[in-house]
Each structure stands twice: as structure tokens, then as C-alpha cells.
């Protein structure tokens, strides 16, 4: 690992190099794919599945059907289903306690203000795949959507390069959790199909889930046509550790993150002894040497990592100093991997410094709100003059007339005489 002292030069490097970058070539390639999917629909999906996944998929095989799911159940171990149900309860229980409730406020003179929360109707879940079956990402995205009350959940995942199929465990999980539609399609083309719709795949309202740089860029480009959860790129972990930390624990946790393609690891510590041990064991990533644990918190707030482990003598004492991190793991027996699989909160987290302004995926990610406003005639009369002045100031004459029309005396029509 590269060792850096926390000084002004390193601070500039963190701000310049450790965040999410704009890649012009990726942007152009993704833009071309999205344009073709929008124009040619299913034909573009078939072309890019053949080009990128090496699978010549007939159009009728884009969607997973009931027979595919039945065969998936035959290929998995019997113990898998009860294990999944136990994990699902952990995740479900966490999100059932999280949702906000609608509220209303009654004011004087007949003013009524309220906010109503409603679930999104149709959501697309992208699950990276092809080579490794990310079973955990299925339940970490689908369960919060189900708890929120989403009616239609659509899953897109690339087919295996050798078989052209989706891993049976992923199909079983999706089926048990009530996913409505599953498609053998991945990459930027899948994001385009979910965002714009094709003959086979109906447009969704929001796209969630992690992916590679092409998926991430595609989500960025379709934002506005649909909503997205976040710009989630390669996985990362930062570990704040002091001399009390077990070097074996720290080493294993840094290496675990590097197991993800493009994964990045950071060790932030004042302990020279720990630095000397870890730098010999771990290739890649960065060790940032600080003067104190307080300074370590400053470093982490600049990095704004996806996962943050605090492995110190008193980890809770540093919690209030952490402002920017996707998920925070306290103590030596809370490795980030526990959040990946079973703790409860979703492992779909902001990466590349975006934890400064994005939140983790949650049940509230699938909820939208509407504002409700009601005024009586008496309440409207009290603010009539203010509205008139503001409308005149902005030059919006018809806005003023819309207000004044409520207070114009209406004359009764003259009675008509019969001739």
C-alpha cells in the first residue's frame, strides 16, 4: 500500500484523485448505447447482449419466465431458502421501523397544510452479474422497495457468458421476494431499457442498484427521464485504527474490499507499528499517516467513503466527528462484510466521495411525497394584498387576476321577460 503523510499536498491529492471522475470515452460510449436503445428498443438490447455478454439471445428469451424459475429451484440446496428467510427478516425489520409518516397542520381561519407519502409504482433494480451471483444485492434492493409498498419491481441482470442463464440462487431469491419481472439484460443497455422502455420492457419510475463504470454513467445520463438512487461505483472501505487494533483484522478487512473489481482500500492511522505491518501484507490502496484520531476523522470526512470501520480503543467516541460516510461499522467485531450480508441496512451505498451528498439506499428511497394545501375564503382574503404585490413585482399579471377573481362581486343576471 502507498503510505501518505496527512499534509497539504495529500489533502489536495484526496480532493483531486479520490473522488468519482468523469471519463469522456465512457460518456461517449454510454451515450451511443442509450441513444440506440431509445431508438431501436429490443433490437439494440439483443445486439449489445451479443456484443458485450457474448450471448446471442432471442428476443423471446429476454424475459425470465415461470419455467426458468422452477428449474432454478431444482438447482439449489434445500437449506438455502430457510437461510434466506432468516436474513430477509433482519432486513425487513430494519426498514419497517424507518419509514416516515404523513402529517398535517391546521392553522387559523381555515388553513390546512399536509404532506402525503406514497410509494413509487414501478421500480427497476439492476443487479451486477454475469460472472459472480450477487445474491445479497437482490435482497438488499428488493426488500426496502417491498416494505415501502412499491407495486411493480423489475429486475435486470446480465446473463452468464457461458450458459446464457441467470444464476439459480438469484432467481430463487427474486421469486421468493416477489419480484414481478426479471430480464436477462445488463450494462448500459439495461439502464436504457428501464429508463426509456422497449417493446418487451416497460419503462420504470426509478432505477436502483450498483454497477460498473458503464452502468454508473448510464444512470447518470438517464437521470431526469427517471429517478435514480445514487451514482454508485467501485466498492471502497476506509479504516480508522489505532495501536490497539488487531493487525490481522485490519489486513483481512482491507483485502476483502479489494476482492471487488476496482475496489479501493484506505487505512488511516497514527500507529507507525500498524503501518509497518499492513504495508507488507496488502498491495494497492493507501495508508494515510495522521498525528491523532481527531485528524483521522478529518481525513475520512474528505474521502467520504462508502464503508467506514472504526477500530480503536473507544470507537463510539469518534462517531460524532464523522460527517461523511455511507455506512459506519464500530469496533473490532463489526467488519464491513456484516453489512454486506446480514445486519439489515442495505449495502447499496454512495461511493467515490458521493457520501457527502447521497444517502444509502433505504425504504424511503422508494417513497415520494405530495403537498396538500387548503385555504378558506377568510384565510385567502388575509393574504390577498401580499400576493397582489408579489405578482406585480414579478410581472405576472394573470397570477394577480387569479387571486382577485375570488373576490369580484358577481351580479345576478337580469330576469328575462317572455314576449
Q: In 3-state terms, the chain is what percent helix, strand and coil (to 5)?
A: 45, 15, 35
pLDDT of residue 133: 77
pLDDT of residue 414: 64
Q: Counting Cβ atoms within 10 Å, is residue 23 exposed (0-12), middle (13-18) or buried (19+)?
A: middle
pLDDT tens sequence for the chain (419 residues) = 788 878 778 877 777 667 666 789 999 999 999 999 999 999 999 999 999 989 899 999 999 999 999 999 999 999 999 999 989 998 999 888 887 777 888 887 889 899 889 999 999 999 998 567 789 999 999 999 999 999 999 999 999 888 889 999 999 999 999 999 999 999 999 999 999 999 999 999 999 998 888 999 999 999 999 999 998 777 899 999 999 999 999 999 999 987 887 788 999 999 999 999 999 999 888 999 999 999 999 999 999 999 999 999 999 999 999 999 999 999 999 999 999 998 888 999 998 888 999 999 999 999 999 999 999 999 999 999 999 999 999 999 999 999 999 998 876 666 666 65
pLDDT digits (tens, 9 = 90+) for 216-239: 999 999 999 999 999 877 789 999
Half-sphere exposure for 245 (CA within 13 Å, toward CB):
33
Rounded CA gap, 27 and 113, in Å? 44
pLDDT of residue 20: 62
Q: Is 262 left (phi over 0), alpha (psi -120 to 50) or beta?
A: left
pLDDT digits (tens, 9 = 90+) for 381-418: 999 999 999 999 999 999 999 999 999 887 666 666 66
**Dihedral, CA of residue 280, residue 285, residue 291 and residue 294, to nearest 10:** -130
Half-sphere exposure for 9 (CA within 13 Å, toward CB):
2
| DSSP annotation of 313 | S
Whether the CB-CB separation of 237 and 254 falls below 8 Å is answered with yes
Can you count the helices (H) and strands (E) in the chain?
Answer: 15, 14
pLDDT of residue 393: 94
Return the C-alpha cell found at 64: 425470465
What lies within 8 Å, CB to CB, of 153 at 6+ separation is 123, 125, 142, 145, 146, 178, 179, 180, 181
3-state secondary structure of 173: helix
pLDDT of residue 411: 67
pLDDT of residue 1: 79
DSSP 330-381: ESTT--HHHHHHTSSS-S----TTGGGT-----GGGGEEEEEEEE--HHHHH
pTM of the model: 0.87
Whether the CB-CB separation of 335 and 309 falls below 8 Å is answered with yes
330 strand-pairing partners:
310
Tell me the domains of the chain and their CATH numbers. 2-19+234-343 (3.40.50.1980), 24-232+364-368 (3.40.50.1980), 377-407 (no CATH)
Whether the CB-CB separation of 338 and 329 falls below 8 Å is answered with yes
pLDDT of residue 131: 63
Catalytic residues: 306-307
pLDDT of residue 105: 87
pLDDT of residue 21: 67
Rounded CA gap, 382 and 223, in Å? 41
Amino acid at each position: 500500500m502507498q503510505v501518505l503523510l496527512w499534509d497539504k499536498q495529500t489533502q489536495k491529492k484526496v480532493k483531486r484523485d479520490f473522488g468519482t471522475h468523469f471519463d469522456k470515452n465512457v460518456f461517449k460510449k454510454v451515450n451511443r448505447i442509450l441513444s440506440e436503445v431509445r431508438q431501436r428498443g429490443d433490437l439494440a438490447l439483443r445486439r449489445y447482449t451479443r456484443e458485450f455478454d457474448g450471448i446471442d439471445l432471442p428476443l423471446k428469451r429476454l424475459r425470465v419466465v415461470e419455467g426458468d424459475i422452477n428449474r432454478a429451484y431444482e438447482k439449489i440446496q434445500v437449506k438455502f431458502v430457510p437461510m434466506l428467510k432468516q436474513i430477509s427478516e433482519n432486513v425487513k425489520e430494519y426498514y419497517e421501523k424507518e419509514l416516515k409518516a404523513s402529517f398535517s397542520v391546521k392553522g387559523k381561519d381555515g388553513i390546512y397544510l399536509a404532506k402525503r407519502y406514497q410509494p413509487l409504482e414501478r421500480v427497476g433494480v439492476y443487479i451486477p452479474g454475469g460472472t459472480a451471483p450477487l445474491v445479497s444485492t437482490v435482497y438488499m434492493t428488493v426488500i426496502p422497495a417491498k416494505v415501502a409498498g412499491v407495486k411493480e419491481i423489475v429486475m435486470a441482470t446480465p446473463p452468464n457468458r457461458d450458459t446464457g442463464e441467470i444464476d439459480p440462487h438469484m432467481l430463487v431469491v427474486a421469486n421468493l421476494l416477489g419480484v414481478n419481472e426479471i430480464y436477462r439484460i445488463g450494462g448500459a443497455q439495461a439502464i436504457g431499457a428501464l429508463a426509456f422502455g422497449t417493446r418487451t420492457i416497460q419503462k420504470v419510475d426509478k432505477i436502483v442498484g450498483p454497477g460498473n463504470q458503464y452502468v454508473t454513467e448510464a444512470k447518470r445520463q438517464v437521470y431526469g427521464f427517471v429517478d435514480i438512487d445514487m451514482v454508485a461505483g467501485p466498492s471502497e472501505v476506509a479504516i480508522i485504527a489505532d495501536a490497539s487494533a488487531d493487525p490481522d483484522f485490519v489486513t483481512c478487512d482491507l483485502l476483502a474490499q479489494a476482492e471487488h473489481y476496482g475496489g479501493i482500500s484506505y487505512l488511516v492511522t497514527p500507529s507507525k507499528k500498524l503501518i509497518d505491518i499492513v504495508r507488507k501484507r496488502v498491495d494497492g490502496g493507501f495508508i494515510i499517516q495522521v498525528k491523532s484520531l481527531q485528524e483521522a476523522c478529518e481525513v475520512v470526512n474528505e474521502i467520504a467513503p462508502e464503508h467506514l470501520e472504526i477500530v480503536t480503543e473507544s470507537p463510539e467516541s469518534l462517531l460524532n466527528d464523522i460527517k461523511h460516510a455511507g455506512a459506519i461499522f464500530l469496533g473490532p467485531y463489526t467488519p464491513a462484510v456484516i453489512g454486506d450480508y446480514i445486519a439489515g441496512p442495505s449495502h447499496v451505498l454512495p461511493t467515490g466521495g458521493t457520501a457527502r451528498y447521497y444517502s444509502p439506499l433505504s425504504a424511503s428511497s422508494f417513497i415520494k411525497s405530495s403537498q396538500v394545501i387548503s385555504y378558506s375564503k377568510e384565510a385567502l382574503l388575509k393574504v390577498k394584498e401580499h400576493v397582489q404585490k408579489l405578482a406585480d413585482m414579478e410581472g405576472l399579471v394573470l397570477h394577480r387576476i387569479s387571486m382577485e377573481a375570488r373576490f369580484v362581486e358577481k351580479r345576478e343576471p337580469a330576469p328575462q321577460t317572455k314576449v
